[in-house]
Homo-oligomer: A and B are copies of this chain.
């Protein structure tokens, strides 16, 4: 089937938009910047995607859907809870490794416009996420894991997984100033391991 619109240009725009929106957020991003990155004219952005918001929507929906995919592991009730948590750690660290700015992106957009996000989550149709807290509470009731504050555990876990990727430039700079080298001292495997140790220590 012949496309009505040239895919190559459209995808160039989407790629550029992803890059710029990820870096600056919806309001911080500039259409001119996106156009420059895609090496096309600013007017073309409006030709392909009516408005800045519609362009943003396209980028955001794709990202959100991938994000939720990783979280689906919690819905798999045939696996023991700790196993699910470990799989989640592996998945989410790999995910952030590929999309380091994703949590920054999510945070910023939710902060700016919660209603907008709710809509988009409905679109992604995968809001079985964050079963995490629910799953933990069930596991504690049945005695499968140690009793802890489930919400606080979730917060700590998200912190440990997300922040290193958000803050990479800061850590890199800070370590360098003290004679250390981020690229040598940090690895995904080390991070996974340390978070799994945290889980073991917390949930027994």
Residues of A that sit less than 8 Å from B by CB: 24-25, 27-28, 103-104, 106-107, 110-112, 114, 117-118, 121, 127, 130, 133-134, 149, 151-153, 155-156, 158-160, 162-164, 166-167, 169-171, 173-175, 177-178, 180, 185-186, 190-191, 194-195, 197-198, 201-202
Contacts and interface: CB of A to CB of B under 8 A. Distances in A.
Nearest to A112: B28
A194 B158 CA distance: 14
B201 A169 contact: no
Nearest to A178: B130
A110 to B, nearest CB: 5
11 contacts: A24-B112, A25-B28, A107-B166, A114-B169, A118-B177, A151-B180, A152-B191, A152-B194, A156-B194, A159-B163, A159-B164
Contacts of A197: 202
Nearest to A176: B114
A127 B177 contact: yes
A28 B121 CA distance: 23
Contacts of A201: 198, 201-202
Given A162-B163, A178-B133, A171 B155 contact: yes
